[in-house]
Amino acid sequence: MIRRILPFIKKEFTEILRDRLSITSLLLLPSILLFLYGYAISLDIKEIKISICDKERSEFSREFTDGLISSGYFRITARRESPNEIESDLRTSKSQVGIIFYPSVYKNFLRNNEPSVQILVDGSNAQSSQYTLNYLVGAIERFTQNAIKKELIRINTIQTPTEPLLTERILFNPLLKSPLYLIPGLIAFVIMITGAISTTISIVKEKENRTFEQVILCPVSPFTLIIGKIIPYFVISLVSSAIMILLSILFFDLPTKGSLLFLSYAVIIFLLCASGFGMLISTISSSQQVAFTIAAFSTLLPTIILSGFVFPINNMPEIIQLITYIVPAKYFIAILRGILLKGSSLSELYPETLSLTIFAVLIVSASIIRIKKKGII
């Protein structure tokens, strides 16, 4: 078997390496995307303009705004007298965030009354507003907890039960290095391009050129043929994923907490899903255009749109949220975010890992059955 596959792998690599443009783009595109995306978004976050309306004018409100500015992500562009002005600032894009401190917010806060700080966020850029909001929520959380601590020390009570004012917190990636948040999605994207699309295209190209007919008449089984097709792209996907992770460690301070073994498992299983898709699609398409279209719609688009890569799944309509359950990239991205950003272990990501593995098994078996039944040409 191995001896039969080797000539295919050798041939495939010769072809791939000879096509300078595609090999360069397969290996470099992901990293370029990473940098473009990474810098564009962190720039976004650094430049966030705030309009403030401070009716409280206490130490509390001053400390809070100072804290925000010192984080380096925010800049106060306007101080306003009335809440209406804040709204018009947002509408005219003078600022992306408005913060309104109502009078006696600090007293209310200590009494655990109605909150009286209002935060307005320009939601027109879903991506960056999500990050901004998350960051602000976290900042408020940290700030209030500090304030409570201080207050407790001041009045010398130790055991007053304190309910958190806000339930959302950014625990991981607290500095909002958003490129880090995107790395798993980019890896998924790259694996789909190389693992599914390139594999499909290269198989269908052989159908079109009729070289498959020639090869099928040699004493090789269709599976040898297909495996010989898949392995090179498998290797390339692994290499470009590794490049992305290395670059992220070097340039974006990606933490290296997670288990390398678990990471490799997740990548390989997801690659199997991608290759399975690739095989299935190549059995049903007769031309490169058809194959590309089917592959783009069934693998690439869901990986970008329905996986939580670009758009947060929580913000999607319920019916779409249901659909995301059949997008393997969703599980893969969740797993990778867990491993890369939080250092989560298998036991914490058990459900996602299981779902991804089941997907891989289903897709690969489906394509094997399909090839057994129908052959490849």
Partner 1 sequence: MEIISVKSLTKRFGNFTAVDNISFGLKPLTINGFLGPNGAGKTTTIKMICGLLRPDEGSIFIENIDVIENPEKAREKMGYMSQNFSLYPDLTARENILFFADLYKIKKSERDNRYAELTDELNLHEYQNTLTSDLPLGIRQRVALASAVIHHPVLLFLDEPTSGVDPISRMKFFDFIRKYINSHKATAIVSTHFLTEAAHCNEIFLFNRGKIILSGQPAEIIQNFRYNIFETKTSLLTGEIKNILNNSEGIIEFYIFGKRVRIITEEDIDIQQISVRTGIDISNISVVAPSFEDVFISLTND
343 sits in the region (left: phi over 0; alpha: psi -120 to 50; else beta) called left
- Written as six digits, the tokens of 91 are 């509408």
User: Do residues 332 and 217 touch, judged by C-beta distance below 8 A?
Assistant: no
Q: Which amino acid type is present at position 295?
A: A
CB of 29 to partner 1, least distance (A): 20
CB of 228 to partner 1, least distance (A): 10
Q: CA–CA distance from 134 to each of 39, 184, 223, 274 (Å)?
A: 19, 19, 49, 32
CB of 189 to partner 1, least distance (A): 26
User: Do residues 15 and 238 touch, judged by C-beta distance below 8 A?
Assistant: no
CB of 209 to partner 1, least distance (A): 5
CB of 223 to partner 1, least distance (A): 13
- Scored b (16 or more CB within 10 A) or e, 100-109 reads bbbeebbebb
Name which of 204 and 300 has its Cβ closer to partner 1. 204
- Written as six digits, the tokens of 320 are 């779409």
Name which of 46 and 210 has its Cβ closer to partner 1. 210
Name which of 8 and 277 has its Cβ closer to partner 1. 8
Residue 350 host element (H or E) = helix 350-374
In degrees and rounded to multiples of 5, residue 124 shows phi and psi of -70, -30
Name which of 3 and 91 has its Cβ closer to partner 1. 3
**Site residues for partner 1 per CB under 8 A:** 3-4, 6-7, 10-11, 14-15, 18-19, 209-211, 213-220, 377
Name which of 6 and 369 has its Cβ closer to partner 1. 6
